Every structure is written in structure tokens, then in C-alpha cells.
Structure 1
Amino acid sequence: MESYSTEAFPISTRAAAWTKLYSQQLNRVNFTPADRHEFAARLSLSQFGPIQLASIAANRSHIERTRNHIRPGAPRLYSFLMQARGNSVLDHCGHQAQLDQGDFVLCDSAAPHSFTLGDNSMIIMLRVDAGLIKKHLPTPERFCGLKLDHEVGLTAVMSAMLENLNTQVQSGFHSDHDGRFARHVLEMLSTAYAMGFDEQPEGSAVMLGRQSEVIRYIEDNLRDPELTPARVAEGLRISPRYLRTLFASRGEKASSYIVRRRLEECGKQLRNPAWAGHTLTEIAFAWGFNSAAHFTRTFHEHFGMAPRDYRRAGSN
């Protein structure tokens, strides 16, 4: 097992050094602590058969993986994230998962995400190759960004199992049966997901796959001011009518989804200390808005307050 801590870095360069280390050991990201002078974090890594097991403990921080961080052709990994302590919020694939202790969420390394850790937060992560996970969970993209609540089905059992496994691995536990046990863990996780989301609307595997492609295309091009439902349909070589059909099951129009996601990203940056020096217009235009008046009006409709007031409330 490998362990890393911010204690090894000077306070003046701690955030930058930790971002570099985290990017080298897990995924390339921007790691922004809420308070650079009080920032503390710890990372433990171990291999358990075909699964990489990681535990991340930190005080209030923001982790962001953008499209620029994702290298073409890089191995695609899926990560099961379990909130072992504290709380956090993951924004991923058009969904927002607010995690409390014992909750799970699935994250795709090939898609951008932002992760806000609360105070005294700890995450246990299982990282699995895409080819392997699909043997147990055939359509993992369907679940990315969706919270699997700790009170549903087998989730509480899986939470307790992973916490115990993480504790044993950190104490030096090793077995010749790691690979076999890892496969059982993946099978149980897939069962927990099947049970936890069995109330979701039914749809064919083809339809679910196409929905995921559409969402990913929109997320990848969200900053483009020319992005419209017509452009999405053209880019994916599907008809506008089929695009409307794919979104009908989500209860939201493609155009509404694009605006909502842009507003959500703007809202996050307005409250992110790293963007404190940027104007409202700069943030809005960076996320595809090309009219300050339109941005202000739609932002107020979505959040119930003006962008300037929203930013001020987040700093209090």
C-alpha cells in the first residue's frame, strides 16, 4: 500500500503540489482547497486483484476534471465512490449527486466531473477497467452521476464491506484470493445497483446507450455558444425527431438541458474561490452564453436570485 499526505509539502505550495500528486496517482484534475492555509489531505492506494482501492481524506476542497484533462486514447476506468465520512457533491454526466455517509456514486474517467468535498470528508474509491466492469454491469454509463442511497437494497451491506476491506488493506492484509474476492465485490455492487435503480423507467440497451452518447456530446461541447439541439443531432448523425424522443423519457427538452447545465456550471464557478477574480460576464461567456442580459435573466429564474447576489451569498 502507498500513502501520501499534504504534511510532506510546505503550506505555501501545498495546494499545487497536492494537485500534481493526485493527478499522477489517480486522475488529472484541478484540486482547489477552500482554505489554502488550513488545507490537509491524505491519499492511500492499494491493488486488490483487478481493482485499485483508494481512500481520500480531506477538508473542504473542490476537485475538477475538465475535458482538457482527458487524454485521447487513455485507458477508460470507472470508479465506484463511497462516502465513508462527511458529505460531498459530485456533478457528472448531467447529474448532481449529494452524498452522505454510506452513499455510492459511479464516475467515468472519460467524462468531465466536479467533486466538492465537505469538511472532514473521506471517500473510498474502487477503480475498475471499463472492460471488466461491463462484465458485471453491462451499461455502467446509465448510472454515472446518480446517487445510490445507503438506505436502498444492499447498499448499506456494501458500505460496511468496503469500509472493513479498506481498514484491513491499510493494516497490511493480503491474500492469494484477492482476485476472486474482487470479482465477488463487483458482482455484489452490480446487484446493489440493479436493486437500487429497479424503479427507473424501462428502456432498451440501445436507447440507454444513445441517451448516454447524447449527454456526453452535450457535456463535451457545453462551452460552445453555437451548441443547439440541431447541432447535437447533426454532430451525432441522428434526426432531430429521434433526439426529441431520447429526451422525452428524461422529462426535459434538449434545449432546456443545455441551458440548465450551463447555469449549473456558472453557479459552481461563481462560488468557487479560484474564480473570484473573474467577472460575471467572463464566467457566463466561458460557458456558452453570448448575452449578459439573457444570462442574468435565466440565472435568476433558475436559482431565484441574481448572479451577483448568488456569488455574494456563497462567500458569507
Structure 2
Amino acid sequence: MIDMDLQIDDIPPSERFAAWRALCEGPMVPMELRSAHEDDFSATMWGMDLGRVTVAGSSFPSLWTQRTKTHIRRSDPELYHLQLNLRGEADMVHGGVTTTLGDRQFMLTCTSLPYEGAIARGRTDELTIGIPPSLLPFPVADLNQLLGRQLSGRTGIGALLADVLIRLGAEHAAYRPADAQRLGTVVADLLTALLAHELDGSDAETGPATLRMAPESHRNALVLRIQDFARRNLHTSDLTPASIAAAHHISVRYLHRLFERQGHTVAAWIRAQRLERCCQDLADPALGGTPIHAIAARWGFSHAADFSRAFRGTYGMPPREFRRTALSQGGLELQGTPGGK
């Protein structure tokens, strides 16, 4: 679960900053770093691999960083990073926006664009999510509206995401490898909900939105809210197009039109989400003793025969065979799952 847990205080003071810089200026995201504390640098860093999502934490004294076009040409993993500032104050320049981050404030960055400059004053603690664009169901143009801006981690969805990240940081050594995929899904879903909220144009802390959204962006944000609602209610048997439409004050016809734009029907998307959750549970060693029909019922399949037929039609094998293969191989990585994010 833990990819990296770095403590440099046991390194001679004169060598600490060089060790930190070697790690941060690595081959994946090269950058330049300087500090006013290079002669006595004290810092920590840890990282967690949660499937295709990563979460990392670091604590360091005053630091200056820069990622230029030259660095990007050298290497670009093409990731979005959501940084949560927990302590200290940071001045960031990214995407043509200059921002000062205070406690419990987020900022979205993209490794494909330069950091024109970043200055952290005083000791700074931060947490960072790394996520590929393919897991964020937004047009690049919409995401670019948010780059370099303050996003609140003090209220609403931002506060919920911040609390989850802080808890992960406090207990990052306690999780098992089998927890990784589930935790990655939680983090990705909350991040998606936060970005959808910001793009939708209202924030309780900052008041009226400064972003003007195109009609397509409004539709995308509504779809994301609907999908988030559906994911949270997959276990209920009465999750239907009618109940979803009523919960979002739209007509069933308009709901179907929204999903047709995404390339699938409402019912097919719900079924794919339920099957994906069943796959995760069937591959989980901790649930190896749970009957397959109970797992199916947990995710909204009320008839075992219907579940088995749908599962086999989607994944090419019955659920019992999938579970046996997954557990014997230590878990399977699902690829190409229909109806994903």
C-alpha cells in the first residue's frame, strides 16, 4: 500500500536538501527546487498507490519550485494534481493565475503546463492527489478554467474530501493492499464531485461564481451529480430512471437524453456500475466467505439468476469462476469495465 515513506532527519544536515531534491526532481515530473534552508533541511514525504489514483503527503520548510516547458518536454506523465494546503502559506502561479493558498485550501494543477513559480513561506504541510485525465469526466477546456484557483476545503464537498485525505495521511500505514482499489474509488469520486460543484458555479464560501459555464458544461455537471447520486444508491432496489429524475427535478425524458449523450442508457449504466462493485467484492479476500447471492443483493440485484446472467454476459465467465480466479491470483485488475467514470 505504501509506495514511499521518506524521513531525511537521519541524513547529515548538509546532505538533506540534496536528497530531497533528487527525489522531487525525479524522472517522472522533473522540476527545479531551491530553499533558504538548504544547509539544515528537515522534511518528510509519504505516498500511497490507490490503483490509478495516488495520494501523497509532505512537510517541508520554505521552498521554491519551478516546472518549465523544458522540464515538461523532458518528461510529462500527463496527470492532474489536486494540492491541499494544511499548514503555512503558499504563493502559486499556474495556468496564468496567481494564487495564495492558506489552510485547508485546494488548488488544481496539470503536469502538462508550467508552474511559473511557487513560493512557500514558513513550514508547509500539504497533501496531493494525482489522477489521470481519463478518470475525470470533464472536457479539458472546463478543467483549465479551474487551474491555479483557490478551491475551498473548508465547507461542503471540499471539506469532505479534505477530511478523507487528512484521515488517509494520519493512518496511511494502517491500510492493506486489498484496500487500495476501494480507497482510490472513494478519492476519485469525491474529487470528481468537488470539480463538478466548482464548475457548476456556486460556492458557499466565495459567493456567486466567477466562472461562466457553457450549456454543455452545465449538462456535464448535471450528469456528474446524477451519477454520484446513483453510485451512492446502487444498493437500493428502487433506483430507477423515475426516482433519479425526481431527485434532480428533471423529467425522465430529459434524463434519458443526458445519458444518450454519454453513449449508454440509464439502466445499462446502473447495471454496469452494480456489476463493477460486485466484481470488486468478489475479488476481495476479506469477503471470501460472503455468499455470491448476498454480494449481488448488496448491490441491487434482487434475483440471483438475473445477476449471474448479466455478469457472465459482461465478463465472459460466471461469478463463481471469476471469484475463484481472482482470489487465486491475489485479485484481478478490471480493465474496460462498461459504464465507468
How much does 1:108 deviate? 0.7
Cα shift readout 1:128-164 (whole Å, capped 9, x = no counterpart): 1122224598721111101113445432222222111
Matching residue of 1:103 = 105
Map residues 230-245 of structure 1 onto 2, 5 A cutoff: none
Cα shift readout 1:35-60 (whole Å, capped 9, x = no counterpart): 21222111111112321111011011
Is the aligned partner of 1:189 residue 2:191? no
TM-score (norm 2): 0.54
For the Cα contact (< 8 Å) 1:54–1:125, is it kept in 2? yes
Is the aligned partner of 1:204 residue 2:214? yes
Cα shift readout 1:242-278 (whole Å, capped 9, x = no counterpart): xxxxxxxxxxxxxxxxxxxxxxxxxxxxxxxxxxxxx
Matching residue of 2:150 = 147
Return closer, same or farther for 1:89/1:203 CA change in 2, 3 Å cut-off. same
C-alpha distance in 1, partners of 2:138/2:213?
Answer: 20
C-alpha distance in 1, partners of 2:27/2:215?
Answer: 34
Is the aligned partner of 1:44 residue 2:46? yes
Matching residue of 2:114 = 112
C-alpha distance in 2, partners of 1:73/1:88?
Answer: 25
For the Cα contact (< 8 Å) 1:84–1:124, is it kept in 2? yes
How much does 1:173 deviate? 4.9
Matching residue of 1:125 = 128
Q: Which amino acid aligns with 2:36?
A: A
How much does 1:81 deviate? 0.3
Return closer, same or farther for 1:75/1:26 CA change in 2, 3 Å cut-off. closer
Q: Which amino acid aligns with 1:6?
A: I
* Structure 2 gap segments, 5+ residues each: 218-341
* Structure 1 gap segments, 5+ residues each: 208-316
C-alpha distance in 1, partners of 2:77/2:28?
Answer: 12
C-alpha distance in 2, partners of 1:14/1:118?
Answer: 19
Q: Identify which of 73, 82, 88 aligns with 1:80.
A: 82
For the Cα contact (< 8 Å) 1:29–1:69, is it kept in 2? yes
Q: CA RMSD in A?
A: 2.8
Local SS of the residue matching 1:16: helix
TM-score (norm 1): 0.58
Is the aligned partner of 1:4 residue 2:6? yes
How much does 1:201 deviate? 4.0
For the Cα contact (< 8 Å) 1:136–1:187, is it kept in 2? no
For the Cα contact (< 8 Å) 1:90–1:96, is it kept in 2? yes
Return closer, same or farther for 1:59/1:74 CA change in 2, 3 Å cut-off. closer
Local SS of the residue matching 1:3: strand
C-alpha distance in 2, partners of 1:106/1:77?
Answer: 11
Map residues 253-272 of structure 1 onto 2, 5 A cutoff: none
For the Cα contact (< 8 Å) 1:46–1:54, is it kept in 2? yes
Q: Percent identity?
A: 18
Local SS of the residue matching 2:113: coil
C-alpha distance in 1, partners of 2:31/2:61?
Answer: 17
C-alpha distance in 2, partners of 1:148/1:159?
Answer: 11
Q: Which amino acid aligns with 1:66?
A: T
C-alpha distance in 1, partners of 2:45/2:215?
Answer: 37
Matching residue of 2:159 = 156
C-alpha distance in 2, partners of 1:187/1:15?
Answer: 35
How much does 1:74 deviate? 3.1
Matching residue of 1:60 = 62
For the Cα contact (< 8 Å) 1:60–1:121, is it kept in 2? yes
For the Cα contact (< 8 Å) 2:57–2:127, is it kept in 1? yes
Return closer, same or farther for 1:205/1:124 CA change in 2, 3 Å cut-off. farther
C-alpha distance in 2, partners of 1:94/1:84?
Answer: 24
Return closer, same or farther for 1:201/1:54 CA change in 2, 3 Å cut-off. closer
C-alpha distance in 2, partners of 1:75/1:205?
Answer: 31
Aligned length: 207
Which has the higher Rg, Structure 1 or Structure 2?
2
Local SS of the residue matching 1:139: helix
